[in-house]
Amino acid sequence: MRYLLIISLAIIVVFYLSGLVLSPILPDEIPSHWNIDGDVDGYMSKNSALHFLPLLTLIIIGLMIFLPRFDPEKERYTSFQTAYDGLILITVLFMMVLYGVTLLWALNVQISMNSLMACMFGLLYIGIGYFFRSVKRTWFVGIRTPWTLLSEEVWNKTHQAGSWLFIVTGIVCFGGVLIPKLAYVFIFTPIILTIIVLFVYSYLLYTKEIQSGQKN
Over the stretch 91-135, which tens digit does the pLDDT of each residue have?
999 999 999 999 999 999 999 999 999 999 999 999 999 999 999
Q: Which residue, of 62, 90, 111, is where some domain finishes? A: 111
User: What pLDDT shows up at residue 216?
Assistant: 56
CB 57 within 8 A of CB 88: no
Range of the domain at 160: 112-216
Query: Is there a single domain that holds both residue 3 and residue 107?
Result: yes
Q: Which residue, of 111, 134, 167, is where some domain finishes? A: 111
CB atoms within 10 A of CB 205: 21
CB 143 within 8 A of CB 202: yes
3-state helix, strand, coil in the chain (%, to 5): 75, 5, 20
Overall domain count for the chain? 2
Q: Which residues contact 85 (CB under 8 A, 6 or more apart)?
A: 2, 3, 4, 5, 8
Query: Is there a single domain that holds both residue 141 and residue 44?
Result: no
Q: Which residue, of 111, 144, 176, is where some domain finishes? A: 111
Divide the 216 residues of the chain into consecutive groups of 10 and give the mean pLDDT of each group: 89 95 94 89 92 95 92 91 93 95 93 94 95 92 94 96 97 95 95 97 95 70
User: What pLDDT shows up at residue 2?
Assistant: 85
Query: Is there a single domain that holds both residue 75 and residue 139?
Result: no
Tell me 62's DSSP state. H
Query: Is there a single domain that holds both residue 61 and residue 128?
Result: no
CB atoms within 10 A of CB 204: 11
CA distances from 173 to 99, 121, 140, 178 (A): 21, 7, 26, 10
User: What pLDDT shows up at residue 211?
Assistant: 87
Beta strands in 8-95 (DSSP E): 29-34, 40-45
Query: Is there a single domain that holds both residue 65 and residue 143?
Result: no
Query: Is there a single domain that holds both residue 1 and residue 104?
Result: yes
3-state secondary structure (DSSP) of residue 118: helix
For residue 124, which of 102, 100, 92 has the smallest C-alpha distance? 92
